[in-house]
Structure 1
Amino acid sequence: MQNINQTDPLSPSSQSIPQQSVAADYPMDGDFCVTTRRIMIISPWPASLHSLVGELTVKCYDVLLFHHADDSALNLLQGDLLLIDQTRGSMSGEEIQHLRARGIPMLSLVSEGTPPNQVGSDFIVWPSSMEALVERIQSFDAPSSRPVFGGNDQLQHKDIRMDLKRMVVSRGEVRIDLTKTEFDLLKVLLSADGSVLSRQTMMDLVWGDQYFGGSNTVDAHIKSLRHKLGDDPKQPQYIVTVRGVGYRLTD
């Protein structure tokens, strides 16, 4: 007869299970990002940029990686910077011109000794120090020294003005620096002329109808846009939340 007081060596109660926090396996580096900028990287060898992607993520960049310039998703997404890996001359001049035509700032990674006339003015030799590359990327975030306004293609609501040609926004006489996504969201709202826009409509117009992110993506960018405009959502001067639907401009 088996002794019922004998401890089963396989029973959970008889084993010493080390207690370890699950979160300990996932280091949380960097600060919480209230706002982000989007970088789209095109490289046939993305593994070589793994450390750069990690560094940019910590510094509040949303990083999207593409193996080829003809990826159809590139035409559906907006970005603040295109980072092109030209270290092995993988992209044709025609492809480069097509990317430049999108109007998104572009920085090329080139190998040492590459003639500047093959890559344009915005390039950096790679490999180089990570710090130097990140500083160069961050330089694209700096405010432009161009005049605040000029040209006829403008949208306006109260004291908020948008110059579509120069992609410049001001509140009164003060220049407001927006990301490309924030600019596009504000443009959609200004163009709607007070009509209510659903979150889905805004996602389709700004990110494309093949973007599958949640509607909270719109809410997060609207929150950032309001902050930069100095708009209080409880007493809005510019953007009104239509509960359960989306957003519109104030009357």
Structure 2
Amino acid sequence: MHNNRILLVEDDTSISDMVRDYLELEGFVVTPVFDGEQGVAVFSKNTFDLVILDLMLPKLSGIEIMEIMRHKSLIPILIMSAKDSDVDKAVGLGLGADDYISKPFSMIELTARVKALIRRAAHYTKADGQENIIHVHDLSMDLNNFCVYKHGQDVKLTSKEFDIMKLFITNKNRVFTKAQIYNLIWGDDYYGEENVINVHMRRLREKIEDNPSTPMYIKTIWGIGYKLGEF
């Protein structure tokens, strides 16, 4: 029993009850809330390991909640929503969500994604006592403490953005296709999830590049994929 704490923000009580009951059987401690304002209030006063967030909520939308949470925390956020267009995925993931699951979903798949996100976050917050910092030009990446610095200033990355940057920075000179990136970072088969990759690359470049339209750190290799820039 791991007793990781999950904040569940879902206004449909039948879905909320189903998710809570299943995850509690898996050993999670689930706190359900039913509107956006309540979600922000409970999040501000308590400590959680993961947030499961619906997009369509009363009082405050899931997108508004995510913006508020991201100002305060890098906690893993899993969006679940019936709105399954590429635009909604791009908006949600672009604002800092770590994963997205569409309704209707299987509880087995949801649980697998929850466990993967918590496991990844725990891996990054667990320092092994040895300094593990990689420097590339003006960037420094602390692999133990899940931190990236540019010119000594902290760069706020989501766990997925950190994963992508770590992939490139620890595999210098290697070119990765979008399918390889999706498989390695999301741990899933690639079915043309190009928009998800594009959104994450754009957001990551906006945070680390001097000029995102002419990137130095993550180069596009046209027709193939991406690689770390050479300095």
Coarse TM-score class (shorter-chain normalised): 0.5 to 0.7
> Which residue of the partner structure matches residue 35 of structure 2?
51
Closer, same or farther in 2 for the Cα pair 1:233/1:245, shift >3 Å? farther
Aligned residues: 147
| 1: CA distance, partners of 2:169 / 2:194 | 20
| 1:71 matches 2:121 | no
TM-score between the two structures when normalised by the length of structure 2: 0.52
| 1:157 matches 2:136 | yes
Superposed CA deviations along residues 130-176 of structure 1, whole A, max 9, x for unmatched, are xxxxxxxxxxxxxxxxxxxx942122221211111111100121111
Closer, same or farther in 2 for the Cα pair 1:40/1:236, shift >3 Å? farther
Superposed CA deviations along residues 49-98 of structure 1, whole A, max 9, x for unmatched, are 4534323523163623785799233344x3xxxxxxxxxxxxxxxxxxxx
Superposed CA deviations along residues 204-241 of structure 1, whole A, max 9, x for unmatched, are 11111246561221111111111111342443221111
Asked if the contact 2:121–2:159 (Cα under 8 Å) also holds between the matched residues in 1, the reply is: no
Closer, same or farther in 2 for the Cα pair 1:192/1:44, shift >3 Å? farther
| 2: CA distance, partners of 1:40 / 1:217 | 24
Closer, same or farther in 2 for the Cα pair 1:40/1:239, shift >3 Å? farther
Asked if the contact 1:231–1:239 (Cα under 8 Å) also holds between the matched residues in 2, the reply is: no
Letter in 2 for 1:63: I
Closer, same or farther in 2 for the Cα pair 1:71/1:210, shift >3 Å? farther
| 1: CA distance, partners of 2:183 / 2:108 | 24
1:180 offset after TM fit, Å? 0.9
RMSD (Å), alpha carbons = 3.5
1:179 offset after TM fit, Å? 0.8
| 1: CA distance, partners of 2:159 / 2:187 | 14
Asked if the contact 2:148–2:155 (Cα under 8 Å) also holds between the matched residues in 1, the reply is: yes
Asked if the contact 2:8–2:33 (Cα under 8 Å) also holds between the matched residues in 1, the reply is: no
| 2: CA distance, partners of 1:173 / 1:60 | 29
> Which residue of the partner structure matches residue 3 of structure 1?
none
> Which residue of the partner structure matches residue 207 of structure 1?
186
Letter in 2 for 1:58: I
| 2: CA distance, partners of 1:40 / 1:211 | 29
| 1: CA distance, partners of 2:208 / 2:63 | 26
Match of 2:121 among 86, 103, 124: 103
Higher helix share: 2
| 2: CA distance, partners of 1:220 / 1:70 | 22
User: Identity of counterpart residues, as a percentage?
Assistant: 25
> Which residue of the partner structure matches residue 192 of structure 1?
171
Structure 2 gap ranges (5+): 1-5, 10-15, 21-31, 37-53, 67-77, 81-100, 124-128
